[in-house]
Amino acid sequence: MIAKEDEILQSYFGYSTFRPGQKETIQQILQQNNTLAVMPTGGGKSLCYQVPGMVLDGTALIISPLISLMKDQVDALQSLGIPATYINSSLTSEELKQRMQDIEARRYKFVYVAPERFESAFFINVVRRIPLSLIAFDEAHCISQWGHDFRPSYRSIIPNLRKLHSIPVLIALTATATGEVIQDIQELLQMDHVINTGFERSNLNFHVIKGKDKATYIRSFIKKHEKESGIIYAATRKQTDALYEQLDKRGIAVSKYHAGLSETERKRAQAAFIHDETTVMIATNAFGMGIDKSNVRYVIHYAMPMNIESYYQEAGRAGRDGEMSECVLLFSPQDIQLQKFLIEQSQMEEAAKQGEYRKLQAMINYCHTHSCLPTFILDYFSDNPSQEGCGRCSNCMERQEKSDITEEAQKILSCVKRMGERFGVGMTAKVLKGSKDKKISQFQLTSISTYGILSAYTEKELTEWIHFLIAEQLLATEEGKYPVLKLNQKSVEVLKGRRKVWMFTAPIPESETTDYHEDLFSALRSRRKEIADEKNVPPYVLFSDATLKELSRYFPV
């Protein structure tokens, strides 16, 4: 006998098979077990409540923080012949009245509502009079203070739920949840069952690009991906405007989106992008939550975002159709200052700010790690990758050349120790360089034995190395806006010579490696190795691979 959920999948939604996690989730709901489903963006979370909503009697309430998305979802259901509607602040009072009457008359199988609706006694009074099949919490991470997009109104639903005569089965859905957030949602909504399909998106290629002119990079990237749709995320409205201007001037079909534009402008920009009238969308993080455009081929971050949760969610808007897509993060050291500034001047309470600084540190580590990038992200979410190293990210691509930097690492770590573990990255780099900066003499750091011990390197390189050591957890940071460097167990092992430190050469994106002379490149590379050995420095200190490739592109073999 064919199960009810399979029949509905085919007859209403026209799909032949469930995706990973869908069937398990649906079965839990049908057995009246409160369930949290964690699935990647595009994984098909909607179906997890839509199918049981069809099987069970009564009306399903779907709580969604995304007003922009409700209409799309409702339209989609209606086009399948399923009675659905939504209630949010965009309705006139007449419309609201009519819809509430229809809800009371039990006309709908699905009603989408904004979380604030539960604060309305009128609304509660209507829904307590009708049978409910289930209540779904979409984008459920918004309910947790540990989540990256906490909405207080979402949390206040919980006490208001008790005003219902009986609470139906609850289902929560999210694509971005750390262990902490999962636990929080479970406790708040009393969910014993968690279906977690993992976060892995095997069709995304991740790149971190450092030390390049961002605008030039973007122009050449867009040129190579001329006919493809892509999103470029900027950190601020100002950045968005400036970038838009630049690309627009060059005749690129580009839209922009940020909270400073009027609603009409935003709607127009969004529609143009979704309907492929423009190929590039430049936006702040105000754009995209819940936008279902399946053929986005790349997402570029013009600056480092505030945390890995946001990054993965934004980058994850690429390739929802399952086709290979690129996710590029353009990093510059100023990004760190900007994000710290944004956290500091936010309205958050002090404790919440400390949490944000901690998450920011993980993001900084992502930009400096030499491990496989998607593996790093999955580790962060305590998820396991299906294979060791993706082989396609910018770090995996540049694995051939490893340098032993144990000695330099020891010098850096002993400097941290000599400085009394009281200072941050910037000061430590200055001391290692032997900088004449006033602050250094103020703290009497010119007299310590590690002052100027790595003066052969630039302050920028030293900063980079310290960040690398932090990212590889060979050096710890104390939480806060100006994280103080601390030694940990691994640092001690390095200092005692029990642990070696390897560094890979600077990563380069695949797209830039296509048109150069392979032979010349490898000749330059071995010459570099010779010189490096003579000088007794790691090769990449002389020239990066990117520079060598650049050179081997212009000279005939």
State the residues that interact with Mg ion by CB under 5 A. 45
Work out how close the CB of 274 gets to Mg ion at its nearest, in angstroms, rounded to a whole number. Answer: 16
Query: Residue 137 interacts with ligand ADP (CB under 6 A)?
Result: no
Antiparallel, parallel or unpaired: β 325-331 and 402-404: unpaired
Among 36, 38, 45, 112, binds ligand ADP (CB under 6 A): 45
Among 26, 36, 39, 476, binds ligand ADP (CB under 6 A): 39
Query: Residue 15 interacts with ligand ADP (CB under 6 A)?
Result: yes
H helix runs in 393-544, sequence order? 394-397, 406-418, 425-433, 438-442, 459-471, 489-495, 518-535
The beta strands (E) that lie in 319-475 are given as 325-331, 402-404
Number of residues interacting with ligand ADP: please give it, by CB under 6 A.
13
Per-residue exposure over 242-274, b if at least 16 CB sit within 10 Å of its own CB, e if not: ebbeebeeeebebbbbbeebeeeebeebbebbb
- Give the nearer residue to ligand ADP in terms of CB position, either 42 or 115: 42
Work out how close the CB of 276 gets to Mg ion at its nearest, in angstroms, rounded to a whole number. Answer: 22
Among 29, 36, 42, 62, binds ligand ADP (CB under 6 A): 42
Residue whose entry in the numeric block shows the structure tokens 């998450």: 359
- Identity of residue 547: T
Select the binding partner of residue 112 from ligand ADP, Zn ion, Mg ion, none (C-beta < 5 to 8 A, by kind).
none
Work out how close the CB of 45 gets to Mg ion at its nearest, in angstroms, rounded to a whole number. Answer: 5
Work out how close the CB of 232 gets to Mg ion at its nearest, in angstroms, rounded to a whole number. Answer: 23
- Give the nearer residue to ligand ADP in terms of CB position, either 7 or 292: 292
Among 25, 35, 46, 59, binds ligand ADP (CB under 6 A): 46
Select the binding partner of residue 107 from ligand ADP, Mg ion, Zn ion, none (C-beta < 5 to 8 A, by kind).
none
- Identity of residue 494: V
Work out how close the CB of 138 gets to Mg ion at its nearest, in angstroms, rounded to a whole number. Answer: 6
Q: In this structure, are residues 24 and 195 in contact, taking their beta carbons and an 8 Å threshold?
A: yes
Number of residues interacting with Zn ion: please give it, by CB under 5 A.
4
State phi, psi for 36 to the nearest 5 degrees: -105, 125
Query: Residue 539 interacts with ligand ADP (CB under 6 A)?
Result: no
Work out how close the CB of 550 gets to ligand ADP at its nearest, in angstroms, rounded to a whole number. Answer: 39
Select the binding partner of residue 385 from Mg ion, ligand ADP, Zn ion, none (C-beta < 5 to 8 A, by kind).
none
User: Taking CB under 5 A as the criterion, which residues in 355-394 touch Zn ion?
Assistant: 372, 390, 393
Q: In this structure, are residues 110 and 60 in contact, taking their beta carbons and an 8 Å threshold?
A: yes
Start-to-end Cα distance in the chain: 69
Work out how close the CB of 174 gets to Mg ion at its nearest, in angstroms, rounded to a whole number. Answer: 9
Query: Hey, what long-range contacts does 248-252 have (CB within 8 A, 24 or more apart)?
Result: 250/219, 252/222, 252/279, 252/280
Among 4, 6, 12, 19, binds ligand ADP (CB under 6 A): 19
Mapped onto helix, strand or coil, the DSSP state of residue 528 is: helix
CA–CA gap between residue 50 and residue 60 (Å, rounded): 8
Binding mask 293-332 for ligand ADP (x = CB under 6 A): ----------------------------------------
Report how many helices (DSSP H) and strands (DSSP E) the chain contains, helices first: 24, 17
CA–CA gap between residue 137 and residue 49 (Å, rounded): 10
Query: Residue 396 interacts with Zn ion (CB under 5 A)?
Result: yes
Interface residues with ligand ADP (CB under 6 A)? 15, 18-19, 22, 39, 41-47, 292
